[in-house]
Amino acid sequence: MIAFLIKRLFHALLVMFVISVVSFAIQDNLGDPIQQMVGQSVPESERAELREELGLNDPFLVQYLRFAENALHFDFGYSYFYNEPTTDVIMRHLPATLELVFATTLLIILLSVPIGVYSAIRPRSWLSRLFMGVSIVGISIPVFLTAIVLIQIFAIGIHVSLFPADTAWGAWLNGLLSTSGGMPAYGRGDVTHVFGTWDTNFASLNGLTYLVLPAISLASIMLPLFIRLIRAEMMEVLQSEYIKFAKAKGISMRRIYFLHALKNTMLPVITVGGVQIGTLVAYTILTETVFQWPGVGLMFLDAIQRSDIPLIVTYLMVVGLIFVITNTVVDLIYGLVNPTVKLTGKPA
Amino acid sequence: MGYYMTFKKTLLATLIGASLTLPMAALAQDVTGDGKDVNLRVAYDADPVSLDIHEQLSGGILQLSHLVFDPLVRWTQDFTFEPRLATDWKQIDDTTMRLHLRQGVTFHSGNPFTAKDVVWTVNRLKRSPDFKAIFEPIESVDAVDDYTVDIHTKRPYPLLLNLSTYIFPMDSEFYSGTTENGKDKGEIVKNGNSFASRHESGTGPYRVTARQQGVKVEFERFDDYWDKDSPGNVDHIVMTPISENATRVAALLSGDVDFIAPVPPNDLERVRADKNVKLVTMSGTRIITLQMNQKRVDAFKDARVRKAIAYAVNQEAIADRLMKGFATPAAQLSPKGYSGHNPDLKPRYDLEKAKQLMKEAGYEDGFSITMMAPNNRYVNDAQIAQAVAAMLARINIKVDLKTLPKAQYWGEFDDRAADIMMIGWHADTEDSANFYQYLTECPNPDTGAGQYNSGNYCNPELDKLVEKANLETDRDKRAKMLQAVEKGLYDDAAFIPLHWQDLAWAAKNKVQIEPVLNVMNFPYLGDVVVEQN
């Protein structure tokens, strides 16, 4: 176990080293940060001075070594825009993103397990077909479109006047299809301070309403994937010998489905799911931009537009670290659920 | 197993809890709108980078300046000057202007406003990397007494009042001394944490009560604000940056904010159609142009070729169809209202004439060039470049177009990396001479003239005329000279003007925004009235 963790620690360091080199190598293509800092009429001499001051004229290797040396002391530099250490900036934005990802994960788990299991048990029922059909649509609509449609329907509201309003059924249909909106369209609303940089949306009703639309649109990418995965795994498990044997033994179908079959279904789901939840952090970029959710995704996109190179590099390294951590946690959980797996890879 | 079950139960409880909260959301929102205090929620596309108004010369910082500080004078909607902290002014000799200052004005810190604050502020402006270039003509400022200052210029300078719109007196006492860690409170730091970038003390209608960079800025009406005649009735302003266009519009339409700017051209109709909100548009002052690089392409040295291009580009079609009327077609740099605006110059689209000029110049069969334009800097910038490329194809000029995000584009622009490059310009001084200085004068790295003249167009005669105009304090004479410069540039086809970008704001019906808006795009929110019912 210890050996496994140490190995993973080295993985993390390697990943972060590679990310930092790559992001440093492409920084020339990210644009000129000076351009973003000064007004248009500032003379070239002033710009040159600022460029020298920031050390942007030094050769690649010098800049990288300076960065690496500071990074070893956990100093990742100052953001050009926020004028603060990049780690502080990220720590301030990270809770918002993690809360969004957490809410999305809850939605996914709560919806995908029952739907996936149901459509595996009753693959031919119309409800299963409906779920599968909707999930195909869900997987193929880009997340920003989902988000904008959600905003239009639930935040702004739509007024349907397709049907004749002077007939009772027309008025009823119009009323049924129209929405009054009212959900918040952007931002986090009233957050409750927990500690440090962590403000939470989960502590108040107002906070939770702000979380609903972003979480649904973020979930819309992963939910269909999970439903299909659980359905496929469950169907496969239901074909296996031990389930047939259990049926023959006369155990109630309920017990077979939810105790014996579900357990084995969840094994691969945990592996794939854990990794996918990690990538959700990356997917938040689009969702956060549309909903102006003040998390790291929005911060990263703004940083790219401002050529805020130190912040970009630190963000990429943090995301790399999150990936390594989620993978490690997934492996640990897998080991707990399935004790026949030895983490260190040595024969038992 | 048991653990797993309780976990599931907790999740269920959370979900039920969440669904119960939905109908209550509406209730929670009403409470904020019905109190006695008047609130205004504003969403701009970006928030000010700093509270230090001398750190950057940008629209965002100037909008902040008008909220938290007051200028000596400010622009009115029809390009005249309105007294603010300066009550009246007089030219006492060729190079000196005497200004009388308003009495009984207090800073947010409680310090009284006097002449020494103006002196201190101008000296600080002359140190600011962003402002020092436009404050170069000022030699010094003297306090004659507590409420009188003399501004001395190095030479007769006609634009001193224009410059005074940029002098927002700062509280010299508040910004003097050192911080706990020994830093000068008045220092201007571009990339770092300075005292002035986190603290403010101005004379303006609002104090900053909370600020989270990139998330929101909160303002509160200053109780001791000097302008008791101001109709403004807003107690609290919350300003949120919403960079995504669609979200900003959605926030207004859904009632989450009361006032947004800018309104993206694609959503103009949608906003106009909504009964609960109103849209205000104005012809702006930012000119969009194309520059033809004479150093890279020999053909561009021939005025006939440049004119052929000028005749081939159809500004009206671009403004009408591509910009959907959200632009004013241009044939010169100076917009209407500027002293250099020459009413005789009109867009001159004429394809036959263009072809004939190409033939005269010996380029009947055309040639191939490269063009670069940004794709997220100006409204529809990439599409405009594509349209121009198509127009030039009709006179057999083949354009290889590349569009880039602004972060990368300006590096290419500085390198003069293409034969035709796009640039938009807004004159910081709201005066025509600023256009010529940066866009059309002969490039000279020592003086900074022609810093953005990527075409390398050079006409010493016109430069001399601009120089002369800059020493002319008689407004009418000066306007004549500047208009002659515009004519000269037009006849030479020094560059291709396309249009002035329009401005658009939108607000809820109850917010009376019309009187506080202007083409400078500095809404005077201190004077805004929100109707109460």
Distance separating alpha carbons of residues A323 and A35, to the nearest angstrom: 33
Q: What is the 3-state secondary structure (H, E, C) of B285-311?
A: EEEEEEEECCCCCHHHHCHHHHHHHHH
Q: Considering only CB atoms, which chain A residues are within 8 Å of B425? A: 40
Asked whether the beta carbons of A1 and A328 are under 8 A apart, the reply is no
Instruction: Tell me the per-residue pLDDT of A310-336, one tens digit each, with 9 for 90 and over.
Output: 899 999 988 888 888 888 888 888 777
Chains A and B form CB pairs within 8 A to the count of: 168
Q: Considering only CB atoms, which chain A residues are within 8 Å of B29? A: 182
Measured over all CA atoms, what is the biggest interatomic distance in chain A, rounded to whole angstroms? 87
The reply to whether A12 falls in a domain is yes
State the nearest Cα–Cα gap between A147 and chain B, in angstroms. 10
Of A39, A106, A148, the CB nearest to B11: A106
Query: B21 in contact with A at a CB cutoff of 8 Å?
Result: yes
Query: B425 in contact with A at a CB cutoff of 8 Å?
Result: yes
List the Cα angle A306/B448/B121 in 5-degree steps.
Answer: 70
User: Terminal CA-to-CA distance of chain A, rounded, Å?
Assistant: 13
Q: What is the DSSP letter of B418?
A: S
The reply to whether A51 falls in a domain is no
Distance separating alpha carbons of residues B106 and B110, to the nearest angstrom: 6
**Average pLDDT for A18-32:** 81
**Average pLDDT for A51-57:** 84
CATH number, domain of A6, equals: 1.10.3720.10
Asked whether the beta carbons of B502 and B281 are under 8 A apart, the reply is yes
Residue with the bigger pLDDT between B22 and A281: it is A281
Of A50, A184, A289, the CB nearest to B256: A184
Contact A82 B214 (CB under 8 A): yes
Q: Considering only CB atoms, which chain B residues are within 8 Å of A80? A: 191
Q: Considering only CB atoms, which chain A residues are within 8 Å of B241? A: 292
Quote the tokens at residue A321.
Answer: 């670290």
Q: Considering only CB atoms, which chain B residues are within 8 Å of A38? A: 56-57, 129-130, 190
List the Cα angle A174/A175/A176 in 5-degree steps.
Answer: 90
DSSP letter string, A210-253: HHHHHHHHHHHHHHHHHHHHHHHHHHHHHTSHHHHHHHHHT--H
The reply to whether A57 falls in a domain is no
State the nearest Cα–Cα gap between A127 and chain B, in angstroms. 22
Nearest to B448 by CA among B161, B165, B54, B136: B136
User: What was the pLDDT predicted at A330?
Assistant: 83
User: What was the pLDDT predicted at A296?
Assistant: 93
**Average pLDDT for A87-103:** 92
**What is the four-CA torsion angle of A266, A268, A270, A276, rounded to 10 degrees?**
-130
User: What was the pLDDT predicted at B13?
Assistant: 42
Q: Considering only CB atoms, which chain B residues are within 8 Å of A307? A: 407
Q: Considering only CB atoms, which chain A residues are within 8 Å of B216? A: 187
Distance separating alpha carbons of residues A202 and A214, to the nearest angstrom: 14
- CA-nearest residue to B274 within chain A is A156
Best B256, B412, B426 residue to mutate vs chain A (most A CBs within 10 Å): B256
**Average pLDDT for A236-253:** 88
The reply to whether A52 falls in a domain is no
User: What was the pLDDT predicted at A332?
Assistant: 83
User: What was the pLDDT predicted at B24?
Assistant: 37
**Average pLDDT for B82-108:** 95
Query: B408 in contact with A at a CB cutoff of 8 Å?
Result: yes
For residue A253, give its domain range: 2-45+64-337
Contact A185 B256 (CB under 8 A): yes
State the nearest Cα–Cα gap between B434 and chain A, in angstroms. 9
Contact A83 B57 (CB under 8 A): no
Distance separating alpha carbons of residues A314 and A71, to the nearest angstrom: 10
List the Cα angle B434/B440/B441 in 5-degree steps.
Answer: 85
Contact A54 B191 (CB under 8 A): yes
Q: Considering only CB atoms, which chain A residues are within 8 Å of B240? A: 186-187, 292
Token pair 């927002």 is found at B168
Residue with the bigger pLDDT between A176 and A97: it is A97
**Average pLDDT for B291-297:** 95
State whether residue A127 is helix, strand or coil. Answer: helix
Q: Given pLDDT bands bounded at 50, 70 and 90, which one contains residue A342?
A: low
- Identify residue B422 by its one-letter amino acid code: M
- Identify residue B224 by its one-letter amino acid code: D
The reply to whether A22 falls in a domain is yes
Residue with the bigger pLDDT between B406 and B386: it is B386
Q: Considering only CB atoms, which chain A residues are within 8 Å of B132? A: 46
Instruction: Tell me the per-residue pLDDT of A187-230, one tens digit each, with 9 for 90 and over.
Output: 888 788 888 888 888 888 888 999 999 999 999 888 898 999 99
Token pair 């640039």 is found at B423
Q: Considering only CB atoms, which chain B residues are within 8 Å of A299? A: 214
Calculate the average pLDDT of chain A: 85
Instruction: Tell me the per-residue pLDDT of B122-181, one tens digit each, with 9 for 90 and over.
Output: 999 999 988 988 899 999 999 999 999 999 999 999 999 999 999 999 999 999 999 888
Q: Which residues contact B298 (CB under 8 A, 6 or more apart)?
A: none
Of A29, A32, A290, the CB nearest to B247: A290
What interface predicted TM-score (ipTM) does this complex get? Answer: 0.79
Query: B231 in contact with A at a CB cutoff of 8 Å?
Result: no
DSSP letter string, B364-391: TT-EEEEEEEESSSSTTHHHHHHHHHHH
Distance separating alpha carbons of residues B403 and B366, to the nearest angstrom: 23
Residues shown for chain B: 533
Asked whether the beta carbons of A278 and A320 are under 8 A apart, the reply is no
Contact B451 A43 (CB under 8 A): yes
User: What was the pLDDT predicted at A70?
Assistant: 87
Instruction: Tell me the per-residue pLDDT of A127-146, one tens digit each, with 9 for 90 and over.
Output: 999 998 888 888 888 888 88
- CA-nearest residue to B423 within chain A is A40
Give contacts of B 163-182 with A, CB under 8 A: none
**Average pLDDT for B510-524:** 93
User: What was the pLDDT predicted at B5?
Assistant: 39
**Average pLDDT for B488-514:** 95
Q: Given pLDDT bands bounded at 50, 70 and 90, which one contains residue B21?
A: very low
Distance separating alpha carbons of residues B289 and B187, to the nearest angstrom: 37
Nearest to B57 by CA among B6, B3, B133: B133
What is the Rg, in whole angstroms, of the alpha carbon atoms belonging to chain A? Answer: 25
Contact A185 B189 (CB under 8 A): no
Best B15, B16, B21, B274 residue to mutate vs chain A (most A CBs within 10 Å): B21
The reply to whether A344 falls in a domain is no
Quote the tokens at residue B282.
Answer: 């104005």
Instruction: Tell me the per-residue pLDDT of A259-269, one tens digit each, with 9 for 90 and over.
Output: 888 888 888 88
Nearest to B127 by CA among B61, B67, B184, B208: B184
Contact A205 B21 (CB under 8 A): yes
**Average pLDDT for B495-502:** 95
**Dihedral pair phi/psi, residue B7, rounded to 5°:** -60, -45
**Average pLDDT for B393-420:** 91
List the Cα angle A84/A85/A87 in 5-degree steps.
Answer: 130
The reply to whether A315 falls in a domain is yes
User: What was the pLDDT predicted at A267?
Assistant: 82
Contact A156 B254 (CB under 8 A): yes
Q: Is the pLDDT of residue B448 over 70?
A: yes
DSSP H/E element including B162: helix B160-164
Distance separating alpha carbons of residues A152 and B429, to the nearest angstrom: 41
Whole-angstrom CA distances from B528 to B48, B210, B232, B444 are: 20, 21, 5, 45
Nearest to B408 by CA among A304, A285, A210, A172: A304
Q: Is B201 left (phi over 0), alpha (psi -120 to 50) or beta?
A: beta
Q: Given pLDDT bands bounded at 50, 70 and 90, which one contains residue A345?
A: low
Beta bridge partners of B140: B152
Calculate the average pLDDT of chain B: 89
User: What was the pLDDT predicted at B2?
Assistant: 39
Q: Considering only CB atoms, which chain A residues are within 8 Å of B133? A: 41-43
State the nearest Cα–Cα gap between B132 and chain A, in angstroms. 8
- Identify residue B101 by its one-letter amino acid code: L
Contact B408 A29 (CB under 8 A): yes
Q: What sign results for the dihedral spanned by CA atoms B410, B415, B420, B425?
A: positive
Cβ neighbour number for residue A53 with a 10 Å cutoff = 12
User: What was the pLDDT predicted at B28?
Assistant: 35
Query: B504 in contact with A at a CB cutoff of 8 Å?
Result: no
Distance separating alpha carbons of residues B466 and B464, to the nearest angstrom: 5
Query: B133 in contact with A at a CB cutoff of 8 Å?
Result: yes
User: What was the pLDDT predicted at A347?
Assistant: 46
Asked whether the beta carbons of B469 and B433 are under 8 A apart, the reply is yes
Nearest to A274 by CA among A339, A332, A342, A202: A332
Query: B300 in contact with A at a CB cutoff of 8 Å?
Result: no
Best B7, B243, B254 residue to mutate vs chain A (most A CBs within 10 Å): B254
Query: B129 in contact with A at a CB cutoff of 8 Å?
Result: yes
Token pair 């819309």 is found at A220
Token pair 């263009």 is found at B354
The reply to whether A257 falls in a domain is yes
Asked whether the beta carbons of A264 and A178 are under 8 A apart, the reply is no
Q: Given pLDDT bands bounded at 50, 70 and 90, which one contains residue B107?
A: very high
Among the residue ranges A96-105, A164-173, A302-311, the one predicted with the least confidence is: A164-173
Contact B192 A206 (CB under 8 A): no
User: What is the number of structural domains in chain A?
Assistant: 1
Q: Which residues contact A160 (CB under 8 A, 6 or more apart)?
A: A173, A174, A177, A178
Angle at which helix A86-121 crosses helix A262-291, to 10 degrees, equals 130
Best A89, A117, A144, A205 residue to mutate vs chain B (most B CBs within 10 Å): A205
Q: Given pLDDT bands bounded at 50, 70 and 90, which one contains residue A344?
A: low
